[in-house]
Structure 1
Amino acid sequence: MTTALITHADFHGHVTPQGHPERVPRLEHLLHALEPLELNRVTAPLAADDDILRCHPASYVSEVKAALPADGFVQLDGDTYLSPGSLDAVYRAVGAAIRGVDMVLGGEAPNAFAAVRPPGHHAETATPMGFCVFGTVAIAAKHALDHHGLSRVAIVDFDVHHGNGTQDLLWDEARTLLISSQQIPLFPGTGTASETGAHGNVLNLPLAPGTGGVQMRQVYEAQAFPRLRSFRPELILVSAGFDAHADDPLANLNWEVEDFRWLTAELCKLADELCGGKIVSSLEGGYDLDALAASGKAHVEELMKAAG
């Protein structure tokens, strides 16, 4: 078996205003880069409302549905928009991550990558922000815990922006461990080392502007990997943002493609050691098209190597 690639044409139907960084060509470029790879290509289903309600209140879900425009755009916050096709996209983004969890835990795939948009890790309990509407990976974690009966799920978020939404949604969830590296200072202004979760279940790894791959590897080896080993997750979820790349226009870290390759390979080794290789990754940020495509391809290639 090989890595499952879970995606859908509906993700191209989530349209943002001209000049917006979270745009349709992001996914087009990434999927084009993945075309030559021998992947198990899977259609992303629509999530059910019950899935969304694992993390978000019904009132918030209703507000999102009511805001969907018949044409044009609706602005949910300073940089988060809905277009007529957005609701299907956000429901399929959650559905893709859940399908990945079901496939990996059910033995249908050794690991999985959900190629989705919009991203999800900034969406808080009842607040859309940072291009995000629903907390995709947090919902997938709750699905693994509540539907599949797992006891420990780890999330590793290497997007350059702090996953404040994932942190908010899982702050009180002792069965999860969130490890998040991010540039500080930078949007959304959270993610300091002092933010540790209600049960010590959050490990934030702030990185100064200009941090490159050598320093990143040292931080992960010194802090993230030992913490994962001590937690012993039964599943590892990844918020895979590629905007820490040196060419990304929205941040100031200096990672290269090989840094994402190395980090993915190390996470796969840890998954093999701790939980039978069970790892599910979901796309978050990455706004330079070439850097996103190259880094995302390297990420998926390492998942495929781990899949055997």
Structure 2
Amino acid sequence: MHTAFISHPDCLLHDMGAYHPERPARLKAIEDELIASGLMGRLERHAAPLATLEQLKRVHTPEYIASLAATAPSTGITYLDPDTAMNPHSLAAAFRAAGAVILATDLVIGEHAENAFCSVRPPGHHAEHDRAMGFCLINNIAAGVAHAIQAHALERIAVVDFDVHHGNGTEDIFRDDPRVMMVSTFQHPFYPYCGVAGRSERMVNIPLAAGSNGTAFRAAVSECWLPALTKFRPQMLFVSAGFDAHRDDDLASLNLLEADYAWVTERIKEIARQYAGNRIVSALEGGYALPALGRSVTAHLKVLSGP
């Protein structure tokens, strides 16, 4: 089976302004590097569908979804907070991004793909059940997790989040759900200034100090994530794949390299092989230094699509 690569042209049309770091060029940088590396030919491409309202209401309130639709402008840009904005194409892009993770879930559970990567935007892990924040409108990974639970009756799902920012939205949605474990690393103290107080056996959130490198990251994974995941025995893993902890990304202050992303992907595959029938769905979150983003996603996908 192949690794599925899921995206959609609508995700390129969401634009929060010429100087916003979360920009359409991110997806082009990923595709350019995948083509240059020769890896794109090993992936099976799929177009992301639009998530349905029913699917989104599993993780967001009906009032919040209605407010997004009401806020979407017909022209120009409307800001939801100082960092997060919508243009006339943003709502469709957000529905496609969530739809990509839902499709990936169906492909992997249905054994039509061994695993999947969703090259989509806007990202999602900051979106809480009733509000947008941190460049995120819909929580894409949460939509996939809820679909795996509701449509496929899975009982133990792990979310792995290595973005430089804590995935507060994912924690908000699943904090009280015993079927979901979240393991994460993030720079702390740093936006969104949470994650430490909410730690538990199922919310294994490991803060890293500014300046931390791959050694600290790998220690957190080996000493904290892997024992927790082994104890939980997840039936499927979802990855909030943010690459903004890279050394070259100047929006934050961690110092990971492509080799660290390849290494953690290998650890994720090992857990999936042991407990989850190899089932992994990964979705793009952060990563704003374009050359580093392209190289990092390629390193991630080389491992995902390899033996």
Bucket of the pairwise TM-score, normalised by the shorter protein: over 0.9
1 CA distance for matches of 2:33 and 2:50? 25
Match of 1:13 in 2: 13
Shift of 1:281: 0.2
Specify the code of the residue in structure 2 equivalent to 1:256: L
Q: 1:285-304 counterparts in 2 under 5 A?
A: 285-304=286-305
Where structure 1 has 5 or more consecutive residues not aligned to the other structure, the ranges are none
Q: 1:22-37 counterparts in 2 under 5 A?
A: 22-35=22-35, 36-37=38-39
**Residue-by-residue CA offset, 1:11-54 (whole Å, 9 max, x unaligned):** 00101112101001011101111223210011111100011100
Specify the code of the residue in structure 1 equivalent to 2:29: H
Q: 1:275-294 counterparts in 2 under 5 A?
A: 275-294=276-295
TM-score, structure 2 as length reference: 0.97
SS in 2 for 1:130: coil
Specify the code of the residue in structure 1 equivalent to 2:7: T
TM-score, structure 1 as length reference: 0.97
**Residue-by-residue CA offset, 1:238-275 (whole Å, 9 max, x unaligned):** 00000000111110001011111111111111111111
Specify the code of the residue in structure 1 equivalent to 2:198: E
CA RMSD of aligned residues (A): 0.9
2 CA distance for matches of 1:33 and 1:5? 14
Match of 2:76 in 1: 72
Specify the code of the residue in structure 2 equivalent to 1:125: H
Shift of 1:75: 0.3
2 CA distance for matches of 1:78 and 1:120? 17
1 CA distance for matches of 2:191 and 2:84? 14
Specify the code of the residue in structure 2 equivalent to 1:16: M
Match of 1:147 in 2: 151
Specify the code of the residue in structure 2 equivalent to 1:34: L
User: Which of these residues, 88, 91, 98, is aligned with residue 94 of structure 1?
Assistant: 98
Q: 1:57-206 counterparts in 2 under 5 A?
A: 57-192=61-196, 194-196=197-199, 200-206=201-207
**Residue-by-residue CA offset, 1:50-82 (whole Å, 9 max, x unaligned):** 111001111110100011111110101111010
Shift of 1:195: 1.0
SS in 2 for 1:124: coil
Q: 1:249-268 counterparts in 2 under 5 A?
A: 249-268=250-269
1:210 paired with 2:205, answer: no
2 CA distance for matches of 1:184 and 1:14? 29
Where structure 2 has 5 or more consecutive residues not aligned to the other structure, the ranges are none
**Residue-by-residue CA offset, 1:82-127 (whole Å, 9 max, x unaligned):** 0111111000000000111100000100000000001000001111
Q: Is the 8 A contact 2:185 2:220 kept in 1?
A: no
2 CA distance for matches of 1:72 and 1:32? 29
The alignment of Structure 1 onto Structure 2 pairs a total of residues equal to 303
Specify the code of the residue in structure 1 equivalent to 2:187: Q
Shift of 1:191: 1.3
Match of 1:220 in 2: 221
Match of 1:50 in 2: 54
1 CA distance for matches of 2:189 and 2:230? 29
Specify the code of the residue in structure 2 equivalent to 1:259: D
Shift of 1:196: 2.7
Match of 1:272 in 2: 273
Moved over 3 A (4+): none
Shift of 1:295: 0.3
2 CA distance for matches of 1:189 and 1:132? 16
2 CA distance for matches of 1:115 and 1:103? 15
